[in-house]
């Protein structure tokens, strides 16, 4: 699975929850760091360090721990009026 950063973000933002995750990552990390993390995770998958089948989930878990997703109540965010 080779997906560049733009493709990854497009696939992530197909759902409302994904849009929230993407926005949080973009704000918390900045697009340059966000992109670098994605590329590093892809490189690890290519080297066999990360299971390529679990690339997206593994990436979101790793980065989520970095920015503190465990503290985010996605349902509460999604319930807010646009």
Q: What is the pLDDT of residues 28-68, one digit of tens each?
A: 999 999 999 999 989 988 888 877 778 888 888 888 888 88
pLDDT at residue number 68 = 80
Mind giving me the DSSP string for the chain? ----HHHHHHHHTTSHHHHHHHHHHHHHH-HHHHHHHHHHHHHHHHTTSS-GGGHHHHHHHHHHHHHTGGG--HHHHHHS--
pLDDT at residue number 1 = 57
pLDDT at residue number 37 = 92
**Cβ neighbours of residue 78 closer than 8 Å, sequence gap 6 or more:** 16, 17, 20
């Amino acid at each position: 699975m080779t997906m560049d950063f733009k493709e990854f973000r497009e696939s992530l933002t197909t759902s409302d929850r994904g849009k929230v995750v993407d926005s949080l990552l973009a704000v918390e990390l900045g697009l340059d760091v966000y992109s670098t993390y994605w590329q590093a995770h892809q490189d690890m998958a290519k080297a066999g360090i990360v299971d390529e089948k679990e690339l997206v989930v593994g990436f979101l878990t790793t980065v989520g721990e970095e920015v503190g997703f465990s503290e985010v109540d996605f349902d509460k965010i999604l319930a807010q009026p646009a």
